[in-house]
Chains A and B, each alone.
Chain A
């Protein structure tokens, strides 16, 4: 074991050795070293977050046929730092009649809910926060804090736009949490564990994307809704609700919501990669060096983030009734049926070779997706005929 194969453990043991050498209590030294590790990871995340602002602005510019920030520093790289300085020297206003405690707590919880997700994200086989055996449940718990922060921000601002935006966002987040939660069960079934690292290790022979392509798609849709990004950004429909739940926030408090949203998107891009695309695994390359594994994970997370941005800048916003109907009447039943089909196929195909198992799983997913689309299509045809009358095909011949 040396620094290049297990950097965290070597560094931790070295530091603990120094600290106990100074006569520090062993337990206290251990906690202090863990604290420093946490601080390091969160600092890296915050720096990454700053560059995400730049990435997001560059990518949206390209989608809209613009160049984007290119004046401050090479390729505009210094732009986000200028933005931060601007946010810090802005006046921090609190509206009259706001619930001050809740109002100030909301942006903090918003950022924290994103950061704590990284406590269970395996960045490389040996570089991970903690190997929590209920990692998948922890994700849901962290997401619930994010939901809470939004209703807190909307309610405490003493502003009608913020309140309506908060309600809409929370209605959407709790609605789409059901399909997301159900899709989290699918990798759990395959891996037989809720541990994120075990889920990645179990994807050695085949990525779960190939076992559950429909689940991958449903998870992506639910994640985009959880993030409140287009096409599900009706909480911030700027032509009707100004900026939704964060209308009244200014300066760094707004900055926390904004940075939290970007980091959230990238985090969920990474989790999408972990659950369905093998996380840090890439044809055995992760065995070479943990540093290479970090790069692989980062690449997958950024690709996931790019897909989320791609959807955001391509789709238009949908109405709240359409959004809720889409979730409760289509996505939720579909995800439960998919869960049942997966559990059944998993039991029936147990013990067969990986090829039979994989093809059976893939086929069952594709068939289910196709049947669901056909049901929706026939339903919408009926609805259309109710409005417009039956299609007059025969008349053309007369």
Chain B
């Protein structure tokens, strides 16, 4: 448990240092806002339209494909740790598991979902 106290302290101090730097910038910097300065940067012209619009659906598909492989890591890490003790049988099991994932990747690929159109 002691180790996680250390990690928690690290996260707290790791957040305090950048907060301190930003607050220092806030204190020492000038504060002279005006409407033109506050407007979003669009190469010097007036901003046109809304920013939070529909985005390219391709990003969503990549995120889904990523999720499949990211979740798989949860299963593969314990497998990798104990691989030395488990012998050939576990290796074959792992290869079957990874092959199923690759079939999924190939399916996505065949469907043309990995192409950036």
Task: Name A residues whose Cβ lies closer than 8 Å to a Cβ of B.
Answer: 31, 34-35, 38-39, 42, 46, 87-97, 104, 107-108, 110-112, 115-116, 118-119, 129-132, 136-138, 140, 155, 157-161, 163, 167, 170-171, 174-175, 177-178, 181, 185, 188-189, 192-194, 242, 247-248, 251-253, 255-256, 320-321, 324-325, 328-329, 332-333, 336, 339-340, 343-344, 346-348, 350
Of B14, B30, B85, B102, chain A has the most CB atoms within 10 Å of the CB of: B14
Query: Are B51 and A160 neighbours in the complex by a CB distance under 8 Å?
Result: yes
Hey, what's the 0/1 contact readout for B23-56 against A, CB within 8 Å counting as 1? Answer: 0111011111101011111110000000110011
DSSP majority for the B interface?
helix
- Chain A residues near B66 (CB-CB < 8 A): 174-175, 177-178
Q: Which 9 A-B pairs have the closest CB atoms?
A: A252-B25, A321-B116, A115-B14, A111-B18, A119-B10, A174-B66, A188-B80, A130-B6, A112-B14
In the complex where A189-B80, A256-B18, A336-B102 touch, is A112 in contact with B88 (Cβ < 8 A)?
A: no
DSSP majority for the A interface?
helix
User: Cα distance A382–B82 when bound, in Å?
Assistant: 43
Please give the distance in Å from B59's CB to the nearest CB on chain A: 5
Query: Are A178 and B76 neighbours in the complex by a CB distance under 8 Å?
Result: no
Task: Name B residues whose Cβ lies closer than 8 Å to a Cβ of A.
Answer: 3, 5-7, 9-11, 13-15, 17-19, 21-22, 24-26, 28-33, 35, 37-43, 51-52, 55-56, 59, 62-63, 65-66, 69-70, 73, 76-77, 80-85, 87-88, 91, 94-95, 98-99, 101-102, 105, 109, 114-116
- Chain B residues near A344 (CB-CB < 8 A): 91, 95
- Chain B residues near A320 (CB-CB < 8 A): 116
Query: Are B81 and A112 neighbours in the complex by a CB distance under 8 Å?
Result: no
Chain B residue nearest in CB terms to A172 = B62
**12 new A-B contacts at CB < 8 Å, known A88-B28, A104-B22, A138-B7:** A42-B10, A95-B40, A116-B7, A158-B52, A171-B62, A177-B66, A181-B73, A255-B25, A321-B116, A340-B94, A343-B95, A347-B88
User: Cα distance A247–B40 when bound, in Å?
Assistant: 9
Chain A residue nearest in CB terms to B86 = A347
A-B pair count, CB < 8 Å, reads: 213
Query: Are B33 and A93 neighbours in the complex by a CB distance under 8 Å?
Result: yes
- Chain A residues near B25 (CB-CB < 8 A): 87-90, 92, 251-253, 255
User: Cα distance A104–B18 when bound, in Å?
Assistant: 11
- Chain B residues near A321 (CB-CB < 8 A): 115-116
Option from B38, B41, B99, B116 in Cβ contact (under 8 Å) with A161:
B41
A-B contact pairs, 9 of them (CB 8 A): A95-B39, A112-B11, A192-B84, A242-B43, A252-B29, A324-B62, A325-B114, A343-B83, A344-B95
In the complex where A174-B63, A343-B95 touch, is A328 in contact with B51 (Cβ < 8 A)?
A: no
Option from A96, A328, A343 in Cβ contact (under 8 Å) with B40:
A96
Query: Are B81 and A107 neighbours in the complex by a CB distance under 8 Å?
Result: no
User: Cα distance A385–B62 when bound, in Å?
Assistant: 30
In the complex where A31-B5, A95-B40 touch, is A252 in contact with B24 (Cβ < 8 A)?
A: yes
